[in-house]
Amino acid sequence: MATFTIVSRTPVTFYAPVCAAFGAFAGLFVGTAQGSGLLGVIGGAVLMALAAIVMTRMMSNEKAARWGLVVVLLVAGYLMGGIPGGLIGLLFGWFFGWLTFWTFEGRYRAKLPPYLTSGQVLWHFTFRVIAGAILVFLITPILVVMPLSFNAEDFFTFTSKMLAFDPEGYSLKHYRDFLTNTEWTSAVKNSLTIAPVATLISVSLGTLAAIGLSQSHVPGKQAIMAILISPMIVPLIISATGMYFFYSKIGIVGTYWGVVLAHAVLGIPFVIITVTATLVGFDKSLVRAAANMGANPVTTFFRVQMPLILPGVISGGLFAFITSFDEVVVVLFIGSAELQTLPWQMFTGLREQISPTILAAATILVGISILLLALVEALRRRSERLRGMSPS
């Protein structure tokens, strides 16, 4: 049974600076929005440190103190930025109320082993803060694009009606244009005809390559593996240029199969990596047992090996599909006007006409990617259970 640290209250010299640091970070965003980032940093640090001291030293009821901070920041945010500002203030109030008492009461050590030093505890939470900051940095552009796709105007910015949550400021017209405009529908059709075939080729060749490279008697495995996964490492512009000169020699530039083969080359490394990772936990004695019972190599593969590595194969196929469906650089070199894919159409829209329909298309692609990645995660967990690596 795990032993956890007994918590105790911390001095003001600890929790006040912590709240000040987070307040400075939050103040940076608020101050930048108001035109002065430096003033926001200083004001955020001072106000949150004072708020932490007031809540812990002058108020005896934690719940009342936290709700009081929520109300104060909600009102302040509403006065500064209307309804959106009020919502941000509400979130800030909840977070800083929780942070204050989490650090003041020493709850941050409640689930940590008692033998950890102060430095180890600091790194424990610093690592999580860094990971959270990276997540916010990566996901913020997506969170901005999605609401903008519902803009009733032909702008790439939030209008006053959108910020006021006026229903007239929101519309589905960009989604309607995406689903009815022939330029967009033909691009979607091209992507849906190219990506599945490229995925099928990638899965077939990548799976066979991974199985072959998993054999101990194959000479030069490391060199072969490096060559096969090089399309994932080499910059796309270099790969696209090489494919263009090679494909032009054999006359398939601007053809359907030229684009399919190019996307298959890009997808094969993902299949090799995922299937190779799955084969690490594969019990090779099962193959020998099937051979001893008279099964030929093809039967052994489809009846014994394939069912166990299937999650890895499907995961690699999903990654290959996403790679093909989202790829734009190679198709600009290899494709043609009749083979414009969805990413190519989005690139053209940004370069030539700045159509907000791009935002609707981006939102749909984000939704598809989230669903596919969720499926990949489910398959990964299933693969671990089949290989006995996970208890549930």
Interval 28-48: pLDDT, tens: 888 887 778 888 889 999 999
Residue 51 CA to residue 73 CA, distance in Å, equals: 11
Q: Within 13 Å, how many C-alpha atoms sit on residue 75's CB side?
A: 5
Instruction: Write down the number of H helices and E strands in the chain.
Output: 17, 0
Residue 278 CA to residue 376 CA, distance in Å, equals: 13
> For the CA atoms of the chain, what is the radius of gyration?
28
- Annotated domain spans of the chain: 12-115, 181-386
**What distances in angstroms separate CA 239 from CA 223, 334, 340, one per listed residue?**
19, 11, 19
Average pLDDT, the chain: 85
- For range 340-363, the mean pLDDT: 82
How is residue 247 written in tokens? Answer: 């494909």
How is residue 316 written in tokens? Answer: 């690699």
pLDDT at residue 195, rounded to an integer:
92
4: left (phi over 0), alpha (psi -120 to 50) or beta: beta
Which residues does 197 contact at the CB level (< 8 Å), separation at least 6?
260
pLDDT at residue 92, rounded to an integer:
92
> Which residue bears the tokens 């600009």?
332
> Which range, 20-34, 189-203, 225-239, has the best average confidence (pLDDT)?
189-203
Q: Into which CATH architecture does domain 181-386 fall?
A: Orthogonal Bundle (1.10)
Q: At how many degrees (to 10) do helices 256-279 and 182-213 cross?
A: 40
Residue 24 CA to residue 45 CA, distance in Å, equals: 4
This model's pTM is above 0.95: no
325 three-class SS: helix
Residue 44 CA to residue 40 CA, distance in Å, equals: 6
Which residues does 306 contact at the CB level (< 8 Å), separation at least 6?
313
Residue 326 CA to residue 320 CA, distance in Å, equals: 10
pLDDT at residue 310, rounded to an integer:
83
Per-residue pLDDT tens digits for 155-183:
777 777 777 777 788 888 888 888 888 88
Closest CA to 357 of 340, 339, 345, 369: 345
pLDDT at residue 96, rounded to an integer:
92
Q: At how many degrees (to 10) do helices 118-148 and 357-386 cross?
A: 140
pLDDT at residue 291, rounded to an integer:
79
77 three-class SS: helix
Residue 27 CA to residue 48 CA, distance in Å, equals: 10
Evaluate whether 51 touches 96 at the Cβ level (below 8 Å): yes
Q: Is the pLDDT of residue 386 over 70?
A: no
Q: Which range has the worst mean pLDDT, 125-139, 170-184, 260-274, 338-352?
A: 338-352
Paired with 45 in beta bridges are none
How distant is the alpha carbon of residue 368 from its chain centre?
A: 12
pLDDT-above-70 percentage for the chain? 95
- For range 218-226, the mean pLDDT: 84
How is residue 49 written in tokens? Answer: 């440190």
- For range 373-392, the mean pLDDT: 68
- For range 76-87, the mean pLDDT: 84
Residue 264 CA to residue 256 CA, distance in Å, equals: 12
DSSP class per residue in 205-262? HHHHHHHHHTSTT-TTHHHHHHHHTHHHHS-HHHHHHHHHHHHHHHT-TTSHHHHHHH
Quick one: pLDDT band at residue 392, thresholds 50, 70, 90?
A: very low
Closest CA to 100 of 17, 26, 24, 43: 17
pLDDT at residue 1, rounded to an integer:
42
332: left (phi over 0), alpha (psi -120 to 50) or beta: alpha
